[in-house]
Structure 1
Amino acid sequence: MFKLIVLWISVTLTRKCVTGYHRLDIRGTDHQSSEVEYLTTLIESAQKNGLTYQFQKNADRYRPRDENETEDFGTFDFIIVGGGSAGTVVASRLSEIEKFSVLLLDAGNFGNNLTDIPNMYFPVDFTEYNWGFFSTPQKTCCLGMVDRKCILPRGRGIGGSTLINGEVYARGSSMDFDRWAKHVNDYRWSYERVLPYFKKSEAFHHRDKDAPVFEPAHGKEGLLNVEYHLPKSPQLVSWLKANEELGFKVADYNAGTGLGASTAQLNTKNGRRFDGGKAFVRPFLNRTNLRVVTYAYVTKILIDHHSNSAEGVIFSHGKKKFSVRARKEVIISAGAFQSPQLLMLSGIGPKKHLNSLNIPVIKDLEVGSFLKDHPTFYGMTFSSNYTEPIRSKEEYVEEFLKGYGPLAAPGNNQGVAFYESQYTKGTGYPDIEIMLIPANATADLSQRAFSLTDQTYGDLWKNINRSNSYVMYIVGLHAESTGSVRLNSSDPYDYPIIDSNFLSDSLDKDINTIYEGVQLALKLSETKALQRIGSKLEDRSLRACKRYRYLSRAYWYCAIRQVTMNLYHPVSTCPMGPNPEKGDVVDSECRVHGVNKLRVADASIFPFTLAGHPNAPTVLIGEIVSDLIKNKHQ
């Protein structure tokens, strides 16, 4: 009987839909016990599935039966490719104008009951909601990963990576946006001008009254929910006190400076994941001028060679190939990996690369040439004398249904802090982030989720006491190293070639910054506040670094290269700026240089990495672009 129920759920959740979504919603059931039983079974099934799930290596699942036959899907004013953090916002805001017809295309579906549970962070990675990308074999990072490849999770569905990410709402520093405005010669991107847009999107709920909040920086009436996880772990409380002991403020890091340690502000609502689809699309599916097509994979932008204008797109859906036209504009919001992929497939990209694949060049731009990310070191685990009580899954589910508890914390990430490094000391510009993952931080899926080799996992986390240990992640916020995104072939169903290239800068700024973060984490662990709970760095020496004295500088540099990878934060593959001859791909209004009626609106347009997490600024991009488009076409 259970197998039949699971089969029915699977069919329901994956059914193709065009204007709505199919989703099993058990929250309205009459019996709390059946709800708890259902979610408990769902969680156990997802965790088991994650142990054997195999990632797809290409997008062949979307390939039409007959690629020579193309059906007409009609004409819309605006076509939006990708329903991620920005695409959902653009679709929502443009469809506010009744006279506009809006089409949103996405290769995945809406979220479901599994994606709703924040602490299914790892199991959700092993579902169709993750594209399952990997980097090329690396030389300077990810050396402790299988085949030296960084695992690169990217969300697939209405909400994009907000369906699978860690949900931290961290805008960055005011200096990021003033720097952005100066870089693109457009004051509209300054902090003073973007703050109202941040507030417009946000629905902030201050449910942790102990957490400091700078109220003037927050919006209350927006569509995107922001709140704190409850309850705080005693390890988090001690960690916040440790920051104060070292002279770092416990502060609202979204107040403008970007500095400070705090309980993490999260995009959850009553403990449930609040993805972009929930926030910006689901409430408006009844709009007659908004059409949403799920499981729609876009393969090409149609560009008129005479006018150099984007006229529409080609996409596959339901094993058929379709052509759809845009009267006004095409907006590409496919993300930092797939926006450049689609542009290059359509003839917009580096001339030499496109020529090598026999793709006719429409516009020679450095698309995909400046991949940036936040290199993150995962190799610091601490023990303590605090033991997190282990309860039954049913008890955890009961708490989750009330809006709190371990299941309501994404990856159990509860604390974040932003600091200056030696490179920004005295400027007030954050350059290092430390994230605190309290007890029960590691899980059965940790090895697969990080793609660690058996040796690396054995050294780092195997047989660890999960109930009293905690982890600090060390993040470099302004990395110099640059990777790339390139086409594997001219076949749109091939995955792109992604070279992360972390920690490769010639002056070693990036690895120096991570090392400085490691030393800061050690100092935090040695404070009176953390010593009161017996904080101690676990002796988890890596065999790959045994030639170096344990905990020496040389050892840490070796360890950092073994287990430094990405943090779901790829940006800058279609960077914004006024000078295409210097590598800029879009102008300050997100219009592709030299191609009319075509914009890119997602994290790929960041001119550089920010001192925060990309999701909030990507939502910001959606808000700003929507207003720019409205102003032009109304």
Structure 2
Amino acid sequence: MGSCKIWDYILVGGGLSASVVTHRLIESNPKLNILVVEAGPDASDRPDIVWPNSTNLVGGDFDWAYNTVDQQWLDNRQVDMPAGKALGGGTVINAGGWVRGDKVDYDLWGSIVDDERWTYEGLLPFMKKSETFWDKRINPTQHGLKGPVSIQSVTSTNREFPLRDHVLRSWGELGLSPLEGLDANAGTPLGIGELQENKKDGRRQIASSVYPLHGATVVTDTLVEKILLERKGGKLRAKGIKLANGTDFRGSNVLLAAGAIRSPQLLMLSGVGPADELAKVGVPVLLDQPAVGKNLSDHGLFAHLWNVKDPSAGWAIGSGNPLFEQEQYGWGGPMDFLTTTDVCKEGLAAAIEEDEGVAPDPETHPLLSGPRAFAEHVFMYAGAADGSKVTFILITLLPTARGSVKLASASISDPPLIDPNFLGSAVDRYVAREALKTQLKFATSTEVGRDILDRELGAPGFDQVFTTNSTDEYIDARLRAGLGTSFHPMGSLAMGSVVDTDLRVKGVEGLRVIDASVFPVPITGHLQVAVYALAEQAAEIISKGA
């Protein structure tokens, strides 16, 4: 493999999107010369990552282990930001939740960029193409049965938990209903859906394994320093890449697939980005593009633990319940359901007015004009080795605050400055507070709260614990002290501002971005589903020569 060779396609990053696009391009034309360069190793056969109880995931060997800058609305804390560093990217270390999000998000995306291919209906064929759903009878128009990614559920693996019916009835007491077929992946997730995961009999589905890279040249443990750009006839064009070790590779097309943190960093180090930011670190400006690195968002995550009144009843993992010794109970997350909720629109309107300075029109404002998937509730039957505790997790799905990725230096070896701006809007603070109140009602006032749970454990630095009488001030303080990331960064090279609807970087020929950084709006799902669909469509667009 010599540096003088001209590759048809060079993919920067070997994660989820790169695996899909590479596989599909070679499938459509086996004669293509494709180079994939991944900073991490090939971990596909590592036994310490492929099972749900693996210990080498977040914080392990295959994690970039980023940190944010001080978060103003989180008591100026820095937050850990895990990201997959291996062939397969985030699919090597993620939890495996298979969650599409709300149809409304995708339709807003398509509307913003004025291209129906990026609406829900436009992406649905590619969502279906990527998956093998376990039951052809459940929402058959919404699911694929022949895709590379195997999907499992709690019932498909025969691992219903003892608390299942109690939890279902308790959500019902709060006015929430089960979705048809308990399927939250049919475009309308508001309500109660059964946990779905991209696992096969519990085994992790790594993107580079289920979309094999046969026919491509794959280089691992190799860091790309920048994209090589040249200007001819007044036009800027990508001509290849430069590695951190000084080696150059030439290519007719460069596909940037390094994720929502590394992709904007690489683009800026290559001379494309906000001129003032590049000048600060001494990077020559080839194209002043102010939107590069802007529009970053991430789903916040907040966890709190609750005591079980009678651990010997066998409700939680570790309690000694012989049911949990059956193999399939180790095949997925210790929960039955994911529950998705909206928030009260009256309070939401007041928060919007605080952020935007004018009273919103409830008929036209996108957050008010219809139901939205603001929060995901995960009631997990685990929290202590002896089965004496359970965990409640809140995921804020629809942030309105936007953050940024900026250069810390002109070196690729230095992580960029990552600012998700968690809870950075009045809307985000209102949503987190109100969603947490819903969880407190569940944990204290429903069947589960009355009969099974005792009290919340509290948190270091706080004298009180959560109750239904907790004040807004106390709830806000706990959120500031404890909220972190769901590992879902997106939007930092947004479609419409940085890339066009064919994923081409505006102002640069021969360069596209094919990862979650192109999402112009937050997707209220766990991002791998949307990225699989994005990558499937990207491969089709590229194959057709758009």
TM-score normalised over the length of structure 2? 0.87
Within 5 A, what are the aligned runs for 1:15-414? 72=3, 74-96=5-27, 97-111=29-43, 112-120=46-54, 123-141=56-74, 148-206=77-135, 213-229=138-154, 230=157, 231-251=159-179, 252-281=183-212, 284-285=213-214, 287=215, 290-306=216-232, 307-316=235-244, 320-327=245-252, 329-365=253-289, 366-385=291-310, 386-387=313-314, 388=316, 390=318, 400=327, 404-406=328-330, 408-410=331-333, 412=334, 414=336
Name the structure 2 match of 1:56: none
Native 8 Å contact 1:378 1:473 kept in 2: yes
State the distance in 2 between where 1:524 and 1:585 align.
43
Compute the displacement of 1:258 (Å).
2.2
State the distance in 2 between where 1:169 and 1:509 align.
26
Compute the displacement of 1:140 (Å).
1.3
Native 8 Å contact 1:83 1:159 kept in 2: yes
Native 8 Å contact 2:394 2:436 kept in 1: yes
Q: 2:508 is matched by which residue type in structure 1?
A: V
State the distance in 1 between where 2:173 and 2:140 align.
25
State the distance in 2 between where 1:413 and 1:151 align.
25
Native 8 Å contact 2:39 2:85 kept in 1: yes
State the distance in 1 between where 2:163 and 2:471 align.
27
| Residues 528-537 or 79-88, more deviating | 528-537
Q: Deviations over 1:155-179 (max 9, x none)?
A: 0111111111111111111111111
State the distance in 2 between where 1:142 and 1:167 align.
30
- Equivalent residue of 2:545, what SS? helix
Query: Cα distance 1:413–1:82, how it changes in 2: closer, same or farther (>3 A)?
Result: farther
Whether 1:485 aligns to 2:410 is no
State the distance in 1 between where 2:13 and 2:164 align.
36
Q: Tell me the number of residue pairs that the alignment of Structure 1 and Structure 2 aligns.
A: 508
Select the residue among 445, 448, 471 that pairs with 2:391. Answer: 471
- Equivalent residue of 2:176, what SS? coil
Native 8 Å contact 1:166 1:413 kept in 2: no
State the distance in 2 between where 1:166 and 1:597 align.
35
Q: 1:326 is matched by which residue type in structure 2?
A: G
| Residues 479-488 or 150-159, more deviating | 479-488
- Equivalent residue of 1:502, what SS? coil
State the distance in 2 between where 1:194 and 1:338 align.
25
Query: Cα distance 1:184–1:241, how it changes in 2: closer, same or farther (>3 A)?
Result: same
Compute the displacement of 1:531 (Å).
4.2
Query: Cα distance 1:369–1:409, how it changes in 2: closer, same or farther (>3 A)?
Result: same
Name the structure 2 match of 1:432: 375
Q: Which runs of 5+ in 1 are unaligned?
A: 1-17, 19-70, 444-465, 578-583
Compute the displacement of 1:296 (Å).
1.7
Compute the displacement of 1:215 (Å).
2.6
Compute the displacement of 1:442 (Å).
5.2
State the distance in 1 between where 2:202 and 2:282 align.
50
Query: Cα distance 1:432–1:223, how it changes in 2: closer, same or farther (>3 A)?
Result: same
State the distance in 2 between where 1:358 and 1:160 align.
30
Name the structure 2 match of 1:598: 511
Q: Deviations over 1:125-163 (max 9, x none)?
A: 2322001111112231266xxxx2100000011111111
Compute the displacement of 1:105 (Å).
1.1
- Equivalent residue of 1:86, what SS? helix
Native 8 Å contact 1:85 1:276 kept in 2: yes
Whether 1:415 aligns to 2:337 is yes
State the distance in 1 between where 2:199 and 2:525 align.
18
Name the structure 2 match of 1:510: 428
Q: Deviations over 1:381-425 (max 9, x none)?
A: 353434336489xx98x855xxx223x225x45531111112457
- Equivalent residue of 1:261, what SS? strand
Q: 1:427 is matched by which residue type in structure 2?
A: G
Query: Cα distance 1:291–1:239, how it changes in 2: closer, same or farther (>3 A)?
Result: same
Native 8 Å contact 2:305 2:389 kept in 1: no
Q: 1:525 is matched by which residue type in structure 2?
A: A
Select the residue among 441, 455, 458 that pairs with 1:523. Answer: 441
Q: Which runs of 5+ in 2 are unaligned?
A: 349-366
Select the residue among 536, 540, 548 that pairs with 2:454. Answer: 536
- Equivalent residue of 1:103, what SS? strand
Q: 1:95 is matched by which residue type in structure 2?
A: I
Native 8 Å contact 1:106 1:296 kept in 2: yes
Q: 2:218 is matched by which residue type in structure 1?
A: V
Name the structure 1 match of 2:352: none
Native 8 Å contact 1:258 1:429 kept in 2: no
Name the structure 2 match of 1:585: 498
| Residues 522-531 or 161-170, more deviating | 522-531
Native 8 Å contact 1:102 1:291 kept in 2: yes
State the distance in 2 between where 1:548 and 1:275 align.
38
Native 8 Å contact 1:267 1:275 kept in 2: no
Compute the displacement of 1:546 (Å).
6.2
State the distance in 2 between where 1:342 and 1:90 align.
20
Q: 1:268 is matched by which residue type in structure 2?
A: K
